[in-house]
A = this chain, B = another copy of it.
Amino acid sequence: MTAIAPSKLALVPFVSVENMMRIIKEIGIEKLLCELAGYIEEDFKRWQTFDKTPRVAAHSKEGVIELMPTSDGELYGFKYVNGHPKNQSEGFQTVTAFGVLSNVSNGYPVLFTEMTILTALRTAATSAVVAKYLAPGNAKTMALIGNGAQCEFQAFAFKKICDIETVRLYDVDPVATKKTAENLAKVGLNVISCSTAKDAVEGADIITTCTADKKYATILTDDMVRPGVHVNAIGGDCPGKTELDKEILLRSDVFVEYTPQTRIEGDIQQLDENFPVTEMWQVMTGQAVGRCSAEQITVFDGVGFATEDFSALRYIKQQLEVTGHFTMLDMLADPEDPRDLFGMVQRVIADEPLMAEVV
A binding-site residues for B, Cβ under 8 Å: 1, 4, 6, 9-10, 14, 16-18, 20-22, 24-25, 29, 51, 53, 56, 58, 60, 62-65, 67, 69, 71, 73, 76, 78, 80, 82-84, 87-88, 90-94, 96, 98, 100, 102, 104-109, 114, 116-117, 120, 147-153, 156, 176, 179, 182-183, 186-187, 329-335, 337-343, 345-346, 348-349
- The 8 Å CB contact of A88, one of B114, B152, B339, is B339
Number of copies: 2
Query: Which residue of A6, A94, A153, A338 has the most chain B CB atoms within 10 A of its CB atom?
Result: A338
Please name the residue on chain B nearest to A105 by beta carbon: B62
* Contact indicator A62/B96 (Cβ below 8 Å): no
B residues less than 8 Å from A335 (CB atoms) = 93, 149
12 contacts between A and B (CB under 8 A): A1-B22, A16-B331, A17-B331, A82-B107, A93-B333, A98-B331, A120-B342, A149-B341, A152-B343, A156-B342, A186-B346, A187-B346
- The 8 Å CB contact of A80, one of B100, B152, B333, B345, is B100
B residues less than 8 Å from A348 (CB atoms) = 21, 25
- The 8 Å CB contact of A117, one of B17, B22, B333, is B333
B residues less than 8 Å from A330 (CB atoms) = 16-18, 114
A62 touching B339 in the complex, CB below 8 Å, given contacts A9-B92, A96-B332 = no
Q: How far is the CB of A119 from chain B (nearest CB, A)?
A: 10
B residues less than 8 Å from A91 (CB atoms) = 9, 338
B residues less than 8 Å from A183 (CB atoms) = 340, 342-343, 346
Interface of A, helix, strand, loop or mixed by DSSP: mixed
* Contact indicator B9/A17 (Cβ below 8 Å): no
B residues less than 8 Å from A147 (CB atoms) = 339
A340 touching B149 in the complex, CB below 8 Å, given contacts A63-B107, A114-B332 = yes
User: In whole angstroms, how far apart are the Cα atoms of A100 and B59 in the complex?
Assistant: 17
Q: How far is the CB of A304 from chain B (nearest CB, A)?
A: 15
A349 touching B149 in the complex, CB below 8 Å, given contacts A94-B338, A120-B341, A179-B340 = no
B residues less than 8 Å from A87 (CB atoms) = 106-107, 338
* Contact indicator B338/A93 (Cβ below 8 Å): yes
B residues less than 8 Å from A67 (CB atoms) = 56, 67, 69, 78
* Contact indicator B338/A24 (Cβ below 8 Å): no
Q: How far is the CB of A31 from chain B (nearest CB, A)?
A: 12
The 3 A-B residue pairs whose C-beta atoms are closest, nearest first, are A82-B107, A152-B342, A16-B330
A17 touching B333 in the complex, CB below 8 Å, given contacts A58-B76, A87-B106 = yes
B residues less than 8 Å from A25 (CB atoms) = 1, 348-349
**10 additional A-B residue pairs with CB within 8 Å, beyond A83-B107, A183-B340:** A9-B91, A25-B349, A64-B107, A65-B69, A65-B102, A82-B108, A87-B106, A93-B334, A93-B335, A114-B333
A349 touching B93 in the complex, CB below 8 Å, given contacts A104-B60, A183-B343 = no
* Contact indicator B56/A51 (Cβ below 8 Å): no
User: In whole angstroms, how far apart are the Cα atoms of A181 and B94 in the complex?
Assistant: 53
